[in-house]
Amino acid sequence: MSTSQRFDRGHTDDLMSFLAASPSPYHAVANAAERLEKAGFRRVAETDAWDTGTSAASAAGSGGRYVLRGGAIVAWYVPEGAAPHTPFRIVGAHTDSPNLRVKPLPDTGAHGWRQVAVEIYGGPLMNSWLDRDLGLAGRLTLRDGSSRLVNVDRPLLRVPQLAIHLDRAVSTDGLKLDKQRHLQPVWGLGDDVRDGDLIAFLEQEAGLPAGEVTGWDLMTHSVEPPAYLGRDRELMAGPRMDNLLSVHAGTAALTAVATGPGAADLPYIPVLAAFDHEENGSQSDTGADGPLLGTVLERSVFARGGSYEDRARAFAGAVCVSSDTGHAVHPNYAERHDPTHHPRAGGGPILKVNVNNRYATDGSGRAVWAAACEKADVPFQSFVSNNSMPCGTTIGPITAARHGIRTVDIGVAILSMHSARELCAANDPFLLANALVAFLEG
């Protein structure tokens, strides 16, 4: 697909389906892998040798490959005749979102209520999880070491808010939530709380024999589906846009480039790297601060007959765009934003800049992104934080520092970031995807 064949509103429709089908990082990478497979990509195992020829199961030769590890995926496309030192063009993103996650001993309750013990993951807007119908999803690990995805995508849990009659000051003094005491969801009635009830229920949901599950990574999600809003349906609300919006756009862009008419002549090797655990620091075997990306890229060079010198050349010429959601100016809180930088929803992707390296963008990176947007005929905006407000960060600085790769921080401007349900302009996701195609094409 060339940039003259543009993504349109259908891309946003597809994003909504992707969000609904991806209640956990494990589901997100499985759905991304399914889309890659349909585009001709083939999975390679990290435990196999990668230089064993040009079969579909090998990482040698041309074509699309991907590695799946937990809630992370790295996919790449090698054009025909690419040299081992061919530089990479990388779209980086993350698959995790703030939420409530199930503890090792999940069965609890009090005063006739059966509850599920949860821990706070990342930095959610905790009030957004109150009085909301919640499902439960994630990964079950079985006795033989294999895993099974599970998704109870119907109202199962609820975190009930205290009635105003018992907290008269809530409307004047604000809501104050204790993370331990006030966010444990209810899921039934009864005083007989038995260890193993929740996992036994999930075994039944997954069609597994009783006692088969020995480990789990489970999290809550809102079961309300994504939806268009507004008089002209120019807004989109949905869960986990931070940052599955970028995972979806990156997957769409990579498959479009790999199946386009110019795929054989690409000057770069296009890559998608979607990591887990960005919301709590990226320090894991599936996080951006781990060795996953560097190991995969190195092995792909060596699988094509390259040397360490080829690896160094490929990394030195590489560029990564770290794509993550950012803040649109909030109409009710405009004073919280920089007074001269007001990114608007619907105005195209944002370029994130912070001179203290909370974002990795510098002037040369800006030029790369500006060229991609110009090629795609996509407008872009600049974002900086108000000097009096702390600035967030992304996988961008981590990628730049860990791998020595020039990195640019970009994304889509949204409202309600870290809420159980976020908001963006309906056209911004496909504008981002178009710009990513142009970036990967080089």
pTM for this prediction: 0.96
Q: Domains of the chain by range and CATH?
A: 9-97+239-441 (3.40.630.10), 99-222 (2.30.250.10)
Residue from 239, 193, 428 nearest 323 by CA: 428
What are the residues whose beta carbons fall under 8 Å from the beta carbon of 115, sequence distance 6 or more? 108, 109, 184, 185, 186, 187
Radius of gyration of the chain (CA): 22
pLDDT, position 57: 56
Q: What is the pLDDT of residues 64-112, one digit of tens each?
A: 999 999 999 999 999 998 999 999 999 999 999 999 999 999 999 999 9
At 30 the three-state DSSP class reads helix
Tell me if 130 sits within 8 A of 182, measured CB to CB.
no
Q: Which two tokens stand for residue 390?
A: 């702390």
DSSP class of residue 112 equals: T
At 119 the three-state DSSP class reads strand
Low-confidence ranges of the chain (pLDDT < 70): 1-5, 52-57
Q: How many residues does the chain have?
A: 442
Tell me if 210 sits within 8 A of 129, measured CB to CB.
no
Q: Which two tokens stand for residue 28?
A: 């997100």
pLDDT, position 3: 46
Cα–Cα separations (whole angstroms), residue 372 to 12, 297, 368, 369:
21, 23, 6, 5
Q: Which two tokens stand for residue 96?
A: 């995790």
pLDDT, position 2: 46
User: Distance from CA of residue 262 to its chain's centroid?
Assistant: 28
Helix, strand, coil distribution of the chain in percent, nearest 5: 30, 30, 45
